[in-house]
Amino acid sequence: MHSGVSQWEFPDAPAKAEDGGKQVRASHLLCKHTESRRPASWREDPITRSKKEALERLNGFAAQIQSPEDFARIATKESDCSSARKGGDLGFFGRGQMQKPFEEATFALKVGEMSGVVDTASGVHIILRTG
């Protein structure tokens, strides 16, 4: 029987993330390869480079990055992620929202610090923690 009366109770406090609400902000530069879970991007469909070639490419970009502006410029032109149009900026995220290796690397960085190569199912990344 439908009474038309809601049985949903209003929360008495805002929802909290598993980590107590801590979020980070990061930008990344993604190089996909043939073993990526979706080997296609806005730049190239299909991706034809090997994982070794993707790593070489990413390391070449890393060698050129001397500032956050360099990172954004290179990510805009070269990243295989759609975040490229925002200089690689992914915005804020908390634990459990990204693939585990990406999350762990980002949370381990200090603001302004850049990671080495991070390998995920999406491809290989360089991450810049921005917040």
Radius of gyration of the chain (CA): 19
CA distances from 46 to 4, 92, 122 (A): 52, 29, 14
* 125 a catalytic residue: yes
122 is catalytic: yes
Is 99 tagged catalytic? yes
Determine the 3-state secondary structure of 58 from DSSP.
helix
DSSP 3-state of 53:
helix
Q: What strands lie across the sheet with 123-129, from one edge to the other?
A: 89-94, 23-31, 123-129, 118-120
User: Annotated catalytic, 115?
Assistant: no
* Of 28, 36, 79, 115, catalytic: 28
Q: What is the DSSP letter of 67?
A: S
Please identify which of the residues 79, 81, 83, 115 carries the catalytic annotation.
81
The residues that are catalytic are 28, 81, 99, 122, 125
